[in-house]
């Protein structure tokens, strides 16, 4: 009996009506949208940059999207198994589609450290700014002590539209979202200011919803019925300034070996919105160039 009582979730945690609807596996609209997405211009890629605090689940989100689209659990981007900053290299991930690739790419970068050093945070923000403008070449290893310099061999002097970022995704650990220091929030806001200046839209992904809330760990389809998660997203939205309808909670593939259609539905729904929002900005840019 012990195991069944440990799975019991207090009904008061649930909202009667979910605050957002997604197609839990039955209706493959989101999957269809992502699988058939094509930018208006041939040869153009939609570039999605992931940033956010160290260990938030940036690399795991890339693996999760890859897993859903490859229909098997994959681990293309290496993931941390400790709390230390794991990803250090600027890397573009392309996802295989038959013999070609999907026309969107995901960029992984070094996480934002929870540091008291203003200088380190400023360097991080400056590096993100360079990435947004397409000035960072793949393979660049971030140096927390120095920003990328114009003389560096990884500095791209002449970025094309394909090198530039079209949507910026701030990845946040749901467990610690409300415990973020003012300094971290300030750095995220600085990055947002840069992106706003470049007219790059921003969304946020809330990861580890399974760890944060037992009602979601018990059943991931409770994601939009969890009042606690809704409140945490609202708090973050107010603090950082990203609107609630641009924030998407996900549970990443991290320890699973088999796909789970309920997790897939949440991941692909987030990805659909990221592409949709990024595509609007890409189209605006392309039209302004003609």
Ligand X SMILES: Nc1nc2c(ncn2[C@@H]2O[C@H](COP(=O)(O)OP(=O)(O)OP(=O)(O)O)[C@@H](O)[C@H]2O)c(=O)[nH]1
Instruction: List contacts with ligand X (CB under 6 A).
Output: 54-60, 79-81, 85-87, 111, 171, 207-208, 210-211, 251-252, 254
Residue 67, contacted partner among Mg ion, ligand X, none, CB below 5-8 A by kind: none
DSSP state for residue 11 in the 8-state scheme: G
Give the total residue count for the chain.
Answer: 290
Can you tell me which residue has the tokens 């940033």? 51
By the criterion CB under 5 A, which residues form the site for Mg ion? Answer: 58-59, 86-87
What are phi and psi for residue 40, nearest 5 degrees?
Answer: -65, -30
As measured in angstroms, the least distance from the Cβ of 128 to ligand X is 13
Q: Report d(CA 254, CA 280) in Å as an integer.
A: 31
What are phi and psi for residue 143, nearest 5 degrees?
Answer: -120, 110
| Residue nearer to ligand X on the CB measure, 147 or 254 | 254
Residue 55, contacted partner among ligand X, Mg ion, none, CB below 5-8 A by kind: ligand X
Judge contact between 229 and 212, C-beta under 8 A. yes
State the residue number with the nearest CB to Mg ion: 87
Residue 252, contacted partner among Mg ion, ligand X, none, CB below 5-8 A by kind: ligand X
Residue 276, contacted partner among ligand X, Mg ion, none, CB below 5-8 A by kind: none
As measured in angstroms, the least distance from the Cβ of 269 to ligand X is 15
| Residue nearer to Mg ion on the CB measure, 107 or 226 | 107
- Closest to 171 measured CA to CA, from 262, 14, 65: 65
State the residue number with the nearest CB to ligand X: 111
Residue 56, contacted partner among Mg ion, ligand X, none, CB below 5-8 A by kind: ligand X
Judge contact between 111 and 55, C-beta under 8 A. yes
Structure token pair of residue 63? 């693996």
As measured in angstroms, the least distance from the Cβ of 251 to ligand X is 5
As measured in angstroms, the least distance from the Cβ of 280 to ligand X is 26
The CA–CA distances, whole Å, from 180 to 68, 141, 172, 239 equal 30, 26, 10, 10
As measured in angstroms, the least distance from the Cβ of 135 to ligand X is 21
Q: Report d(CA 47, CA 24) in Å as an integer.
A: 27
| Residue nearer to ligand X on the CB measure, 264 or 281 | 264
Q: Report d(CA 61, CA 65) in Å as an integer.
A: 6
| Residue nearer to Mg ion on the CB measure, 61 or 213 | 61
């Amino acid at each position: 009996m012990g195991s069944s009582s440990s799975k019991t979730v207090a009904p008061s945690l649930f909202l009667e009506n979910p605050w957002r609807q997604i197609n839990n596996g039955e209706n493959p609209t989101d999957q269809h949208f992502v699988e058939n997405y094509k930018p208006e211009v041939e040869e153009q890629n939609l570039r999605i940059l992931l940033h956010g605090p160290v260990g938030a689940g940036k690399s795991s989100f890339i693996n999760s999207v890859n897993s859903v689209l490859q229909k098997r659990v994959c681990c293309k981007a290496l993931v941390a198994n400790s709390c230390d900053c794991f990803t250090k290299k600027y890397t573009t991930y392309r996802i295989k589609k038959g013999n070609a690739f999907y026309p969107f790419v995901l960029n992984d970068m070094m996480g934002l450290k929870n540091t008291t050093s203003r200088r380190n945070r400023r360097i991080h923000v400056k590096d993100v700014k360079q990435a947004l403008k397409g000035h960072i070449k793949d393979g660049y290893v971030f140096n927390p002590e120095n920003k990328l310099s114009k003389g560096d061999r990884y500095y791209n002097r002449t970025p094309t539209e394909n090198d530039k970022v079209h949507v910026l995704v701030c990845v946040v650990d749901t467990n610690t979202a409300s415990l973020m220091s003012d300094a971290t929030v300030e750095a995220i806001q600085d990055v947002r200011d840069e992106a706003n200046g470049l007219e790059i839209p921003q969304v946020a992904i809330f990861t580890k919803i399974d760890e944060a809330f037992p009602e979601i760990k018990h059943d991931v389809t409770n994601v939009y019925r969890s009042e606690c998660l809704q409140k945490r997203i609202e708090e973050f939205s107010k603090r950082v300034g990203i609107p609630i309808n641009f924030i998407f909670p996900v549970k990443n593939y991290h320890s699973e070996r088999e796909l789970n259609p309920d997790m897939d539905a949440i991941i692909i729904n987030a990805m659909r919105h990221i592409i949709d929002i990024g595509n609007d900005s890409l189209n605006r840019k392309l039209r302004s160039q003609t």
